[in-house]
Structures are given as structure tokens and as C-alpha cells.
């Protein structure tokens, strides 16, 4: 199976982090949701225009835990729910695209006050898409979007939940879905799906079976957790830190698509991070990159180094940190364009050490490589 082992381990590590949030017994409030999704492709390639004209349809099933203990991070995030999900879609001709499925972890942040009948929500999700039909020079030459049978699954949904009754919500929203392997295999224009969704969510409380298992009982516990108002975010114990981050990756050039020829990459980062509180911060720093896939154009290995600078925003909750950084090169950009972006998710292993999975881009939002590495905070004040 064409799937980079490092990418596979990194994604499942981050899914484990997400689904491990607040893992202690916290009230046993849970929910199951099912949604139908439909919309259009946002395609940036060249050969699939006729294949993406009919849009897509998908089914999404989620199981969520709702924390109810008033610990620090539950309060900070407004008692955000978290869980695991399964996704299956028909995105076009299965002989070209395959029949994609995905497994993922997600967090559901509530944007409205707890007592509202209609609650606005935003839910980012990260996982793995599988059962794709990759590019093949002989059997599938049109697929310039995906070069491997597995890819990163990313989804963000913005919508609402209308409380129909004691247990059931009507769900509606808009969402964006992205499949990509980050140039781990080429071609890799990626698949971007944007559309509407509609569904239902059922809430239940496991304490009910401990209280009374009679199906006709009138002695019931609440099936929903009534969230308290979210307090003002607490000040971080320290205001500043210096972070050092080292990461590796592996990529394939487009000229080598359909082969097993690969190249290693390296990212070294020194960051200054300013914390406004426990959830929000800004970073600025310097990058040292080494891209061995430049060997064909730059035979001298010293010409495969690039030096950059960046600035970014961090959204922090529990042990996780969602990061977005924008950067540019101080050296020649080696045909990568001046702008690079690094979206990433970071997991705090301990007070001083962290692991991070990110995507470095080129030519704006085009994938350059996926990087997986570890970091150290030598200074905090």
C-alpha cells in the first residue's frame, strides 16, 4: 500500500491525542450523530475537470463525549465535546477516484450561550482517508489529484444544532473537506470539497442504566449536559517562551510520479512565543530547511538549504495547540515562491517537550512536504 510510514504514525498519534482529551469519567454524557453532505469540488488540477462537474455526496457518523467536570480546560474551552468519526463519500467516477472512507478525531466548540435553543458550533477534524484510487500511468492516468491510496483527511464544519426535544438535535451547516498526502507521493493537487450538510444528533447519559434499566420508567436523568457560561480565559503561568523544533519528512517529485523514488527533507525552527492567556498566543521565528528533492536542479548539496522567517498564531487547549504560520525566505526561494504556510497541530508531551505534525507549503497553499518532529522549550519567563 502506497502510504508513508512516518505520515501514518504521525496522523494516528494526533488522532490519539484528540480522542484522549479529558479521558477520565466526567459525567457519561455522550452523543451519536449522522449527517448527509453534498456540494462541489474546488479543483485546482488540469485533467479532472470533466470528472468533478457532478459534485459529491457523503455520509458522516460521529460518536462524541461531552465533558461535565469543571476542570481547567473544560472551562477554558466552554466544555467542548470531542470524539471519533467515520466518513464515506461518492466523489465521482470510482475508477478514477476510488470510494474514499475516513477515520478521524474531532473537537466540537460551542459558539452560543448554553441556554439557547439553537447553538452555533465549529468542529475541526483530522484523520486518514483510505480506499482512494491513485494515479497510475497506465490504468488511471487522469488522476492528477491523488498519488496514493491513503491521504490526510481534514474537515472543518461550521453550523448549528437546533434542539428538537430532550434527546435530539437537528444539525445543519457548511463544511470544507480536504484530502492530500502532502507530496509524500505525486501527483498531489489534492481534492477539496465544499458544501452543505444536514443531519440529526442523539444525546444520552450512561448513568441512566445505573439508575433504572426499566424501558418504561419515569425516573430519568438528564440526557444533555447544561454547560455553564464560559469564564474569561485565565492568564498563562508564563508570558513568553523560546521553542526549538526539529522535524523530518519525505517527498516525491512530479517527474517521479508512479515510482518509488523519494527524497528526505529537514526543518529546523527557533520560535519566540508570546502568550496572551492560556488559549491564545503569537509566534515569530526563523527556519532552516533542507530539501533533497532539489537535487535534480541543484547538484551541489549546499544549494538545497533555505533560510526563512515566519510569524503565526497559536490556539491552545488541553495539551493541544493548533498553529498557523506564514513565512518567507531570506535566501533564494529555489523556485518555491516567496510565501510558505505551515498549518500544524502540536501535542505537549511534558512542560518542556512537545511533538508536532505539520504541513509546509510552497507557491502559496501548494503542498511542499509533511513534517513530523519534536520540540523543546529551553526558556520560559
pLDDT tens-digit series, residues 320-346:
999 999 999 999 999 999 999 999 999
**Which range is least confidently modeled, 14-28, 88-102, 210-224, 367-381?**
14-28
Q: Which CATH number does the domain housing residue 95 bear?
A: 2.40.160.20
pLDDT tens-digit series, residues 208-243:
877 778 788 778 888 898 888 877 777 788 899 999
pLDDT score at 210: 78
Last residue of one domain, picked from the residues 192, 211, 230: 211
Number of domains in the chain: 2
Residue 330's CB is within 10 A of a number of other CB atoms, namely 12
Residues 25 and 150 in one domain: yes
Last residue of one domain, picked from the residues 191, 211, 231: 211
Residues 78 and 150 in one domain: yes
Residues 68 and 154 in one domain: yes
Residues 248 and 195 in one domain: no
Residues 116 and 185 in one domain: yes
Residues 72 and 187 in one domain: yes
C-alpha 184/C-alpha 166 separation (Å) is: 47
Question: Does residue 92 sit within a domain?
Answer: yes
Residues 36 and 175 in one domain: yes
Question: Does residue 278 sit within a domain?
Answer: yes
Q: Which long-range contacts (CB under 8 A, 24 or more apart) does 262-270 make?
A: 263/291, 263/292, 263/293, 263/295, 264/292, 265/289, 265/290, 265/291, 265/292, 265/293, 265/369, 265/371, 266/290, 267/360, 267/371, 267/373, 269/243, 269/244, 269/245, 269/375, 270/242, 270/243, 270/244, 270/245
The stretch 283-305 carries a mean pLDDT of 96
Question: Does residue 259 sit within a domain?
Answer: yes
Question: Does residue 224 sit within a domain?
Answer: no
- Residue 59: helix, strand or coil by DSSP? strand
Question: Does residue 221 sit within a domain?
Answer: no
Residues 180 and 300 in one domain: no
Residue 8: which pLDDT band, with cuts at 50, 70 and 90?
low
% of the chain residues with pLDDT over 70: 93
pTM (2 d.p.): 0.85
The stretch 353-371 carries a mean pLDDT of 91
Residues 273 and 200 in one domain: no
The stretch 140-145 carries a mean pLDDT of 89
pLDDT score at 151: 92
Average pLDDT, the chain: 89
**Residue with the three cell numbers 455520509:** 59
Residues 144 and 34 in one domain: yes
Question: Does residue 80 sit within a domain?
Answer: yes
Task: Judge whether residue 349 has pLDDT over 90.
Answer: yes
In order, the DSSP letters of 298-317 are --SGGGGEEEEEEEEEEEEE
Question: Does residue 229 sit within a domain?
Answer: no
Residue 38: which pLDDT band, with cuts at 50, 70 and 90?
very high
pLDDT score at 365: 78
C-alpha 182/C-alpha 246 separation (Å) is: 18
pLDDT score at 374: 97
**Which range is least confidently modeled, 13-17, 105-109, 156-160?**
13-17
pLDDT score at 53: 87
Residues 119 and 183 in one domain: yes
pLDDT tens-digit series, residues 58-88:
999 999 999 888 777 788 888 999 999 999 9
Residue 49: which pLDDT band, with cuts at 50, 70 and 90?
confident
Which is nearest to 63 in space by CA: 82, 42, 90, 44?
82
Question: Does residue 220 sit within a domain?
Answer: no
C-alpha 83/C-alpha 104 separation (Å) is: 9
pLDDT score at 27: 53
Residue 24: which pLDDT band, with cuts at 50, 70 and 90?
very low
pLDDT tens-digit series, residues 238-286:
899 999 999 999 999 988 887 888 999 999 999 999 999 888 999 999 9
Last residue of one domain, picked from the residues 190, 211, 232: 211
Burial tier of 328 (Cβ tally within 10 Å: 0-12, 13-18, 19+): middle
The stretch 1-20 carries a mean pLDDT of 52
Task: Judge whether residue 3 has pLDDT over 50.
Answer: no
Q: Give the structural domain span for 64.
A: 5-211
Task: Judge whether residue 26 has pLDDT over 70.
Answer: no
Burial tier of 90 (Cβ tally within 10 Å: 0-12, 13-18, 19+): middle
Give the sign of the dihedral formed by CA 217, CA 220, CA 62, CA 158: positive
C-alpha 156/C-alpha 165 separation (Å) is: 26
Residues 247 and 205 in one domain: no
* Max Cα distance, the chain (Å): 78
Amino acid at each position: 500500500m502506497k502510504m508513508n510510514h512516518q505520515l501514518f504514525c504521525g496522523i494516528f498519534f494526533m488522532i490519539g491525542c484528540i480522542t484522549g482529551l479529558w479521558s477520565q469519567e466526567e459525567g457519561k454524557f455522550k452523543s451519536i450523530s449522522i449527517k448527509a453532505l453534498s456540494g462541489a469540488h474546488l479543483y485546482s488540477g488540469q485533467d479532472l475537470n470533466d470528472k468533478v462537474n457532478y459534485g459529491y455526496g457523503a455520509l458522516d457518523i460521529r460518536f462524541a463525549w461531552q465533558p461535565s467536570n469543571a476542570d481547567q480546560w473544560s472551562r477554558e474551552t466552554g466544555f467542548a465535546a470531542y470524539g471519533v468519526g467515520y466518513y464515506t463519500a461518492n466523489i465521482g467516477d470510482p475508477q478514477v477516484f476510488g470510494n474514499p472512507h475516513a477515520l478521524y478525531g474531532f473537537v466540537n466548540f460551542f459558539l452560543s450561550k448554553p441556554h439557547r435553543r439553537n447553538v452555533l458550533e465549529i468542529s475541526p477534524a483530522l484523520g486518514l482517508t483510505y480506499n482512494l484510487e491513485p494515479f497510475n500511468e497506465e490504468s488511471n492516468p487522469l488522476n492528477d489529484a491523488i498519488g496514493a491510496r491513503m491521504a490526510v483527511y481534514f474537515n472543518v464544519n461550521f453550523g448549528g444544532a437546533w434542539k428538537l426535544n430532550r434527546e435530539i438535535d437537528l444539525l445543519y451547516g457548511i463544511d470544507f473537506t480536504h484530502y492530500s498526502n502532502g507530496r509524500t507521493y505525486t501527483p498531489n493537487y489534492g481534492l477539496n470539497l465544499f458544501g452543505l450538510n444536514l443531519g440529526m444528533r442523539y444525546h444520552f447519559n450512561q448513568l441512566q442504566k445505573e439508575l433504572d434499566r426499566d424501558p418504561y420508567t419515569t425516573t430519568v436523568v438528564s440526557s444533555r449536559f447544561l454547560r455553564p457560561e464560559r469564564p474569561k480565559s485565565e492568564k498563562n503561568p508564563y508570558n513568553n517562551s523560546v521553542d526549538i523544533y526539529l522535524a523530518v519528512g519525505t517527498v516525491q517529485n512530479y517527474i517521479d510520479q508512479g515510482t518509488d523514488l523519494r527524497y528526505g527533507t529537514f526543518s529546523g525552527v527557533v520560535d519566540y512565543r508570546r502568550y496572551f492567556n492560556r488559549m491564545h498566543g503569537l509566534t515569530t521565528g526563523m527556519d532552516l530547511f533542507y530539501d533533497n528533492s532539489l537535487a535534480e536542479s541543484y547538484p551541489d548539496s549546499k544549494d538545497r538549504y533555505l533560510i526563512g522567517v515566519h510569524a503565526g498564531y497559536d490556539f491552545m487547549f488541553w495539551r493541544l495547540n493548533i498553529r498557523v504560520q506564514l513565512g518567507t525566505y531570506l535566501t533564494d526561494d529555489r523556485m518555491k515562491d516567496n510565501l510558505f504556510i505551515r498549518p500544524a497541530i502540536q501535542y505537549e508531551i511534558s512542560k518542556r517537550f512537545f511533538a508536532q505534525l505539520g504541513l509546509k507549503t510552497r507557491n502559496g497553499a501548494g503542498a511542499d512536504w509533511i513534517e513530523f518532529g519534536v520540540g523543546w522549550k529551553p526558556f520560559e519567563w
